[in-house]
Structure 1
Amino acid sequence: MRKGEKSLMFLLFISETALARIPGLSAAGTDVKALPYTAPADADMLFYDRPKVAPTLPFDPFGHPSPAVVTRAALLEAGFPAMTVRAGTSIAPASPHVTISESVGRDMRFESAVPDYEEIAERAAELARGLDEGVKRVVLAESVPGGTTTALLLLRAFGFVGTVSSAGPENPLALKEKIWKETSERLGLKPGGMKGMGLRAAAELGDPMQIAVAAYASALPRGVEVVLAGGTQMMAVAALLRDMGFDRRLLVATTKYVHIDPTSRLEDYAREIGADWYAAPLDFTHSRFPGLADYEKGFIKEGVGAGGAVWYAQQLGISMERIQSRTEALYEKMLNEGPLPPKVVSEIR
């Protein structure tokens, strides 16, 4: 047993939002029909070498693997415990999980995004209150297709004006701004107009994951360190926690791909919100696999707590070389086992 591994819990919160079905908005999943399976398939990857809930593997529309493969590599190398919290998906993972909501986030351009937010928050808080007393750190991760857009909306509602990153090299910022315009017009809202509203703001224009993670973190004992594993999406959760009066240290752990993306405004948001940040120094430049090498070209960037999983693995003395080597081995096994989407390029360089 590695020193400290029992003092941490890695929790993946999975959700779904109606926004992800807007053409051109989300780069998660091979196509719109696959979107409901994306987060559950990511959750399966915490426990298995390939998803069991879906017939195909978790890839984006261009054939790049979900960052869940990096998360699993870090988890296997470091040996820390993990669990999945289903916080609003239409499909359940095949892997072990706790369900606090099956209600998918709604389209906030036309109605409140999470009308049952109080029930979700209470169930998340109850889960936090049941945390083992020996756990001193929690790494809270997410998988939410379309979640960078809900992140922009929530950040903007609290007065943090700027852009957000995307899972692909072509960030659909104009579309995200259009969604903000339509949502803010429905609500009669200007940037910063929901300061002090806490969870009610996320309920109006966010997603179920934001509410579940914020409620969970808020209910933890003061002695438990909170690490938010994700990029733009977890910066939005950090903003939500600060708006709720959460005054403890917050670390947002992501990957270098988010950090170097100027649209993420990672350092700016961290400074404005009052959070620390970490960017995992992954490097697949020389990978034999185009699907992984393209991470260096702006594909995927982050998700499924990849940056946070690498952060904790490094805390336990696991090298980047080991994590990257295990990632490549897992990906090769995935490619060999198939079936694969037609756009996947599986030739070994």
Structure 2
Amino acid sequence: MVSARANQKEHDFLTVHEEVGTEQVLKFLTQRRNTRNQLKFNLVLASTTLSDLDNISAAGKDSESRRLTPALDAEALCHSLENLPVSLPVSPAGVTSPVVLTKAALNFLEPQLEIVDAGSFKQPAVMHRRINDEVAKYPTQSNSGRALDRKLVTDLFEQGLNDSRNGEELELIAECVPGGTTSAALVLALTNLEYDSSIRMPPEKLASYCSSSLLGAKSQKISFIRDQLDFLETSRGKALPELVSQCLRDPLEAISLAGDTMQAYAAGYLLGRASKGQTTILAGGSQMIAVYRIASLLRKPVLLATNSLIATTKYVALDKEAKVKDLAARNKAPLISVDPHLKNSVHQGLRAYEEGHVKEGVGAGAACLMAYTLAKISGEELLEEIDKTYGSLTGASSPGQ
């Protein structure tokens, strides 16, 4: 099915970057028939005040709009093209939300949709479950010096475990968390920290935890993460190696210190399914690597690797600055990337993905994977549907838009 090449395997629509456990899951997907309602797509919404900061998130043109993005993406995903009551989120560069890709891919699949609001600024105006009212803060902003109350993190994790009990054989866990790549970077740093003899992480090491869809903003993001880690050292009265040791023993502490509510819920949901041998696709890039990392520290990694993988777009995996492939390898997280062939789109707004303006979100890469493997469609068929969906959602009728 898939031919090997060094530590990388390729198919005409996907690339396997970190192959621990992926072959078994991919075989399961390619041999499975697409049966209506037997795939469940879970979209977990969450907010963090990180999204209010400039140059942290591309999930909205400004801080006010980023607070609305989770609700708007959920509404766009759930409504039909003919009855969409909202405008789509756009990046600061004006590039439309990746929910377009997700919606187009899911049109071939007819999955069960489950919207879980784990704590966002605005609830979506579609059917959903609100399991928490609090949003995460960043350490230097919080009165407690924590992103989230520790008990809340534990409660959300246990909620995820409980919610996984009556799941389908195959499920996706996707996210919409503006600012979530930064909280993921902090959690990964607190559970993986590589430091030099002066007990300070060199910039080149810290950069490997950090991804950004904002062109030219990475150095500012790295500086911000460095400041948060320095603050945690001071406020906790512990050097970073001590904090890391604590978080490795108690992974949920890393989420409490610097993470977000999606991470806690999704880690519990993933572990609950893994314990029953059910297949789970984590839909995203560095945010889902953080979820996988937390889960793997709480259980034997082999339990996860045989039944789960992380699926993202090629725009995330092949970003040389983000180094998500290296991040997956360091965390032994099975990672594949999918090519939606947007370079051939008739719309400039979609071709902009090839330039790195927007890379992933709302489970776009994993949804495309499901369309390719379960619905057995071609890249040309998927792109045609993406172009059609983009035109309907944005009103763009000409190829220049």
Say which of 18, 23, 28 aligns to 2:59: 28
In the alignment, which residue of structure 2 is the partner of 1:215?
A: 268
Say which of 287, 292, 300 aligns to 2:345: 287
In the alignment, which residue of structure 1 is the partner of 2:372?
A: 314
**Distance in 1 (alpha carbons) for counterparts of 2:261 and 2:393:** 30
In the alignment, which residue of structure 2 is the partner of 1:181?
A: 227
Any gaps of 5 or more consecutive residues in structure 1? Answer: 337-344
Matched, 1:168 2:199: no
- Compute the displacement of 1:140 (Å): 0.7
**Distance in 2 (alpha carbons) for counterparts of 1:21 and 1:207:** 14
In the alignment, which residue of structure 1 is the partner of 2:297?
A: 243
Instruction: Calculate the TM-score normalised by the size of structure 2.
Output: 0.78
SS at match of 1:57: coil
Structure ID, larger Rg: 2
SS at match of 2:184: helix
- Compute the displacement of 1:282 (Å): 1.6
15-24 vs 105-114, which deviates more? Answer: 105-114
Say which of 376, 380, 387 aligns to 1:328: 387
Q: Deviations over 1:220-279 (max 9, x none)?
A: 242211211101111111111111125322311000001110233222222221221111
Q: One-letter code of the match for 1:309?
A: A
SS at match of 1:59: coil
Any gaps of 5 or more consecutive residues in structure 2? Answer: 1-32, 194-204
Aligned pairs for 1:1-349 within 5 A: 3-49=34-80, 55-109=86-140, 110=142, 111-115=145-149, 116-131=152-167, 135-159=168-192, 161=205, 162-186=208-232, 187=236, 188-190=238-240, 192-193=244-245, 194-220=247-273, 221-247=275-301, 248=303, 249=305, 250-316=308-374, 317-336=376-395, 347-349=398-400
**Distance in 1 (alpha carbons) for counterparts of 2:187 and 2:84:** 31
**Distance in 1 (alpha carbons) for counterparts of 2:263 and 2:230:** 19
1:181–1:53 Cα change, 3 Å: farther
47-56 vs 112-121, which deviates more? Answer: 47-56
Kindly indicate whether the alpha-carbon contact (under 8 Å) linking 2:210 and 2:222 is maintained by their aligned counterparts in 1.
no
Q: One-letter code of the match for 2:147?
A: A
- Compute the displacement of 1:130 (Å): 3.2
SS at match of 1:326: helix
Q: Deviations over 1:101-150 (max 9, x none)?
A: 1211112224211212122222222211232xxx2122111110011101
Q: Deviations over 1:149-202 (max 9, x none)?
A: 011101100115523221233343333332333344334342634212111211
**Distance in 1 (alpha carbons) for counterparts of 2:397 and 2:179:** 27
**Distance in 2 (alpha carbons) for counterparts of 1:227 and 1:31:** 31
1:130–1:51 Cα change, 3 Å: farther
SS at match of 1:252: strand
Q: Deviations over 1:278-309 (max 9, x none)?
A: 11112222322221110110011001000111
1:173–1:163 Cα change, 3 Å: farther
1:207–1:54 Cα change, 3 Å: farther
1:189–1:210 Cα change, 3 Å: farther
- Compute the displacement of 1:15 (Å): 0.4
**Distance in 1 (alpha carbons) for counterparts of 2:189 and 2:111:** 35
**Distance in 1 (alpha carbons) for counterparts of 2:155 and 2:209:** 31
Q: One-letter code of the match for 2:310?
A: V
SS at match of 2:107: helix
Kindly indicate whether the alpha-carbon contact (under 8 Å) linking 1:139 and 1:227 is maintained by their aligned counterparts in 2.
yes
1:264–1:329 Cα change, 3 Å: same
Q: One-letter code of the match for 1:242?
A: S
SS at match of 1:77: coil
SS at match of 1:45: helix
- Compute the displacement of 1:310 (Å): 1.0
Aligned CA-pair RMSD: 2.3
Kindly indicate whether the alpha-carbon contact (under 8 Å) linking 1:51 and 1:57 is maintained by their aligned counterparts in 2.
no
- Percent identity of paired positions between Structure 1 and Structure 2: 30
